[in-house]
Structure 1
Amino acid sequence: MKFTVTSRGDNVSNALQQRIKTYLVEFGLTFDDENPEIVITVGGDGTLLHAFHTYKHRLEDTSFVGIHTGHLGFYADWMPEEVEKLVIHIAKTPFQIVEYPLLEVVLRHYGENKSERLLALNECTVKSPEESLVCNVEIKGEKFETFRGDGLCISTPSGSTAYNKALGGAILHPSLACIQLAEMASINNRVYRTVGSPLVLPQHHTCLLKPQNYVKLQITIDHFSWSHQKVKSIQCRVAEEKIKFARFRPFPFWKRVRESFIGD
């Protein structure tokens, strides 16, 4: 089996990265950072997010597993002291594949025929750094509302514990094939009126955002951010692709939620 190991870049993570690589090569696995069948990340959720975007063109053939060297994460579920156990599992044990849904974002600009398609593991956010965002929200081809406020966040179920939660969105189990739309400080008056609650859209529903005041937009996909001019529409829906995680033991999602936000 071909593998690669990515690191957050600190001394502890780099040392673990080298240990894992050495162990797996000794077990007869092949190090291949171009076409890996399994990607092991050492760091935290941000490290795994970065690895996802590095290998998103190989989602059909690549699985991910994470070791966290900092705070508890929702993607990195192994501890540094469990490295030897994990290495033996990877080398000797057939693993279970668990798939999580992704967010597809399609950007269209005025004056351009070609659209840009992006994938997000956590979320896409749309803001205006200059003034309030005014945006028509269409669901399944029909206008739902006109939003005015700081911005909008469209998240995956696995990303619902990140920025979405800070906005008051619901925490969704990552086995659900859906996306969630959450508002950032919406303005409600006689002209602009929003539902004021997060919306959870199923797999067959498409959300289309159409900016109305033609301002510069700041659009993020996970940890990447771009400035865009003349955005015609932002189309969001559940992607056909999924991310695959290699599971060697149970990974209770609600237990991790409790440990991260409530504690013992």
Structure 2
Amino acid sequence: MKVSIYGNNGQASVKVATALKKGLTAAGIELDSLDPDIVITVGGDGTLLSAFHHYSDRLDRVRFVGIHTGHLGFYTDWRDYEVQELIDSLVEDNGQSVSYPLLTIKVEYADGTHPDKALALNESTIKKVSGTMVADVYIKGEFFESFRGDGLCISTPTGSTAYNKAVGGAVLSPQFNAIQMAEIASINNLVFRTLGSPLILPADEWIRVEPASSANNVLMCDQLSIEGRPIKAITYQIAQQRISFAEYRHTHFWQRVESSFIGRDNG
């Protein structure tokens, strides 16, 4: 087994990463950041998102494990004081994993340059730099609505608990191989009308967004952004790839939701 440690520069994360490297070496586990079997992230959900994009070209060969060094993370199962317990689990690893759906994004440009493709673990948003965004929305190739408002958020099931939830989207179990579109401050009056509700689409359907103006749009893909380029259209669909987590004690999705947003005392 080859393991990569992917951490942020925070003092607590550096301390944990150092202890982890020492413990893995003592246990006879090889460290390899170029061709790992398992990627251990040390930090929080932001660190895991960064690691996901860093290793997005090898998702069929790598599993992720998250250690959080601050507040409880949505993707991170291990605490900073459980380094030895994690190493013991790695030593006993038998390849067990749990996988979650991802979002694939295709961006076409009005200047005819080559389209870009990207993957998102949480979500993608499209907004204007300033003013109202106007865009036509197509579902599975058929015109659905003309949108006017601040923007649109398209999320994965696990990403449904992030920005999507903040803008009124539904929390969706990752057991559903689906994507969700939520409107961000849509304009609805006697002149302009949208559905005004989140949409959930299965894997064989897709969303195409065509902004009325190709200029001054900002497209986000998790933490990454595309701006300053003339966007003609964005197409969203469930990706063929999935992200896999090493299931040593992977926390159930609804347990994560409860602990993150409700946090009642179960004792």
TM (normalized to structure 1)? Answer: 0.97
> How far, CA to CA, are the matches of 2:151 and 2:72 in structure 1?
28
Q: Secondary structure at the match of 1:111?
A: coil
> How far, CA to CA, are the matches of 2:21 and 2:243 in structure 1?
23
1:168 and 2:168 aligned: yes
Pair 1:115–1:250, CA change in 2 (3 A): closer
Aligned to 2:212: 212
* Counterpart residue identity of residue 39, structure 1: V
1:112 and 2:112 aligned: yes
Deviations 1:148-167 (A, max 9, x none): 00000000001111000000
Q: Give the C-alpha shift of residue 124 in structure 1.
A: 0.3
Deviations 1:117-164 (A, max 9, x none): 010000000000122110000001001100000000000001111000
Moved over 4 A (4+): none
> How far, CA to CA, are the matches of 1:11 and 1:241 in structure 2?
34
> How far, CA to CA, are the matches of 1:228 and 1:2 in structure 2?
40
Moved more, 75-84 or 141-150: 75-84
> How far, CA to CA, are the matches of 1:92 and 1:104 in structure 2?
34
CA contact (8 A) 1:38 1:65 kept: yes
Moved more, 88-97 or 129-138: 88-97
> How far, CA to CA, are the matches of 1:138 and 1:52 in structure 2?
29
> How far, CA to CA, are the matches of 1:39 and 1:147 in structure 2?
40
1:263 and 2:266 aligned: no
**1:155-234 matches, cutoff 5 A:** 155-234=155-234
Aligned to 1:143: 143
* Counterpart residue identity of residue 262, structure 1: I
> How far, CA to CA, are the matches of 1:81 and 1:114 in structure 2?
47
Aligned to 1:248: 248
Deviations 1:239-258 (A, max 9, x none): 11111110102512111211
Runs of at least 5 residues in structure 1 that lack an aligned partner in the other structure? none
CA contact (8 A) 1:4 1:32 kept: yes
Aligned to 2:44: 44
- Tell me the C-alpha RMSD between the 2 structures: 1.2
Moved more, 176-185 or 7-16: 7-16
Runs of at least 5 residues in structure 2 that lack an aligned partner in the other structure? none
CA contact (8 A) 1:130 1:215 kept: no
> How far, CA to CA, are the matches of 2:36 and 2:15 in structure 1?
21
* Counterpart residue identity of residue 21, structure 1: K
Moved more, 47-56 or 7-16: 7-16
> How far, CA to CA, are the matches of 2:198 and 2:105 in structure 1?
18
Q: Give the C-alpha shift of residue 8 in structure 1.
A: 2.1
> How far, CA to CA, are the matches of 1:191 and 1:126 in structure 2?
23
CA contact (8 A) 2:215 2:229 kept: yes
> How far, CA to CA, are the matches of 2:113 and 2:217 in structure 1?
19
> How far, CA to CA, are the matches of 1:160 and 1:152 in structure 2?
13
Q: Secondary structure at the match of 1:160?
A: helix
Q: Secondary structure at the match of 1:194?
A: coil
Q: Give the C-alpha shift of residue 95 in structure 1.
A: 4.0
Aligned to 1:93: 93
CA contact (8 A) 2:77 2:250 kept: no
Q: Give the C-alpha shift of residue 113 in structure 1.
A: 5.2
1:129 and 2:129 aligned: yes
TM (normalized to structure 2)? Answer: 0.96
Deviations 1:168-201 (A, max 9, x none): 1011112221111001100113332100000011
Aligned to 2:82: 82
Q: Secondary structure at the match of 1:259?
A: helix
Q: How many residues align?
A: 264
Q: Secondary structure at the match of 2:134?
A: strand
> How far, CA to CA, are the matches of 1:129 and 1:63 in structure 2?
37
